[in-house]
């Protein structure tokens, strides 16, 4: 069954990077070089999942090199990593801790990771160096924190799978969901690749904190609602399952309720930008006013880009099983 998913409206335009075609070819070549794609079916899946397009939606301001790196990152993010932990590996917390610990080592510059045995880990070492190249020290510190949080959240999910824990508090769930989508780490990269870095003294302002959480919640709601064909089989955390449990309602009713929640969050974000963002901007110098306005655009790109990508990708059309060739991608990362 194909779900329409959570629906909401927002006034922001959908933007797209002009370098996507070149980025797609770059990503396919890079993934083949690191043994992350095997055979024509894998290349077809990469293309049909629209992973280069999602990079183009999230990073419309990136130049050619950055857009290629973003497409490679999206290729790495899904089957070589995320889908691995949807399977057997993700039900062994100790194994997940060792895998994600190796990736966190890369984020924090541990030497020798580029020679790691596991293709997924070795590829991320190559990717990370280019993701952070040219970053300011404050932004690099922030992106390292957020990507470490993303990897650590995989352990949280593995423990929850093992214990059978389910969430009943929606806002608590959204805090975890922001980490499991690497929402804030993706936003950091958009600052880097879009040239609109927000200074730490402003980035930590409660208004921007609320805005980025709302944007992350919207992406989480949309993604969870579109991935039901897969997660109805695998289990794990999903906001639609949570709504069904807490409201005692049908699937269709849960999607309506979740769409209402999403619309409320979109409306709140619009209102914060209309009323509160100008107040913050008045207190800033010219360069930071520009950066804050650009940061709002980054959140718009994140929300609108994900909404469109969920519509056009084939990734969620059915329950996904890990192809046999991909089962070796994390071998060697457990020790």
In angstroms, the CA 195 to CA 193 distance is 6
Give tens-digit pLDDT for 252-303: 999 999 999 999 999 999 999 999 999 999 999 999 999 999 999 999 999 9
Write down the pLDDT at residue 334: 61
Provide the token pair at 62: 């990136």
Task: Give the percent of the chain with pLDDT over 90.
Answer: 89
Give ∠ CA 185-188-190 in degrees, rounded to 5. Answer: 115
- What is the DSSP code string of 227-272? SHHHHHHH----HHHHHHHHHT--HHHHHHHHHHHHHHHHHHHHHH
Q: Which two tokens stand for residue 310?
A: 């969920």
What's the rounded Cα separation, in Å, for the pair 238 and 266? 20
Q: Could you report the per-residue pLDDT of 126-150, keeping only the tens digit for each?
A: 999 999 999 999 999 999 999 999 9
User: Cβ contacts of residue 9 below 8 Å, gap of 6+?
Assistant: 263, 266
32 token code pair:
């083949």
Residues 6+ apart with CB under 8 A from 175: none
For 169-207, letters b (16+ CB in 10 Å) and e give ebeebbebbbbbbbbbbbbbbbbbbbebbbbeebbebee
Nearest to 211 by CA among 70, 53, 60, 12: 12
Q: Mean pLDDT throughout 308-329?
A: 93
The CA-to-CA distance between both ends of the chain, in Å, stands at: 40
The pLDDT score that the predictor gives to residue 335 is 57
Average of per-residue pLDDT across 116-122: 91
Is 221 a residue whose pLDDT tops 70? yes
pTM comes to 0.96
> Quick one: pLDDT band at residue 2, thresholds 50, 70, 90?
low
- Predicted confidence band at 171 (pLDDT cuts at 50, 70, 90)? very high
Average pLDDT value for the chain: 95
Query: Among 102-116, 165-179, 245-259, which stretch is predicted with the lowest mean pLDDT?
Result: 102-116
Tell me the C-alpha distance between 86 and 163, whole Å. Answer: 15
Contact 217, 174 (CB under 8 A): yes
The two structure tokens encoding residue 232: 């109805």
């Amino acid at each position: 069954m194909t779900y329409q998913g959570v629906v909401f409206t927002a006034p922001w335009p959908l933007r797209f990077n002009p370098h996507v075609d070149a980025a797609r070819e770059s990503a396919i070549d890079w993934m083949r070089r690191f043994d992350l794609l095997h055979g024509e079916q894998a290349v077809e899946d990469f293309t049909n999942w629209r992973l280069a397009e999602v990079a183009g939606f999230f990073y419309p301001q990136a130049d050619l090199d950055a857009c290629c790196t973003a497409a490679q990152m999206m290729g790495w993010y899904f089957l070589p990593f995320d889908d691995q932990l949807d399977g057997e590996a993700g039900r062994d917390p100790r194994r997940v801790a060792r895998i994600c610990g190796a990736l966190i080592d890369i984020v924090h510059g541990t030497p020798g990771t580029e020679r790691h045995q596991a293709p997924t880990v070795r590829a991320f070492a190559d990717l990370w160096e280019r993701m952070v190249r040219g970053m300011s020290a404050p932004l690099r510190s922030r992106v390292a924190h957020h990507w470490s949080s993303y990897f650590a959240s995989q352990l949280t999910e593995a423990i929850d799978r093992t214990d059978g824990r389910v969430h009943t508090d929606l806002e608590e769930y959204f805090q975890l969901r922001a980490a499991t989508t690497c929402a804030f780490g993706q936003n950091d990269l958009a600052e880097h690749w879009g040239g609109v870095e927000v200074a730490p003294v402003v980035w930590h302002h409660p208004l921007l904190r609320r805005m980025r959480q709302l944007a992350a919640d919207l992406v989480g709601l949309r993604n969870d609602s579109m991935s039901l064909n897969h997660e109805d089989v695998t289990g794990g955390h999903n906001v639609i399952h949570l709504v069904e449990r807490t409201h005692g309602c049908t699937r269709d009713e849960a999607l309506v309720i979740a769409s209402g929640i999403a619309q409320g969050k979109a409306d709140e974000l619009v209102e914060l930008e209309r009323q509160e963002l100008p107040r913050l901007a008045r207190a800033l110098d010219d360069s930071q006013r520009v950066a804050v306005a650009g940061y709002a655009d980054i959140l718009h790109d994140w929300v609108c880009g994900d909404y469109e990508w969920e519509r056009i990708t084939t990734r969620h059309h059915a329950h996904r099983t890990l192809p046999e060739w991909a089962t070796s991608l994390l071998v060697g990362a457990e020790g």
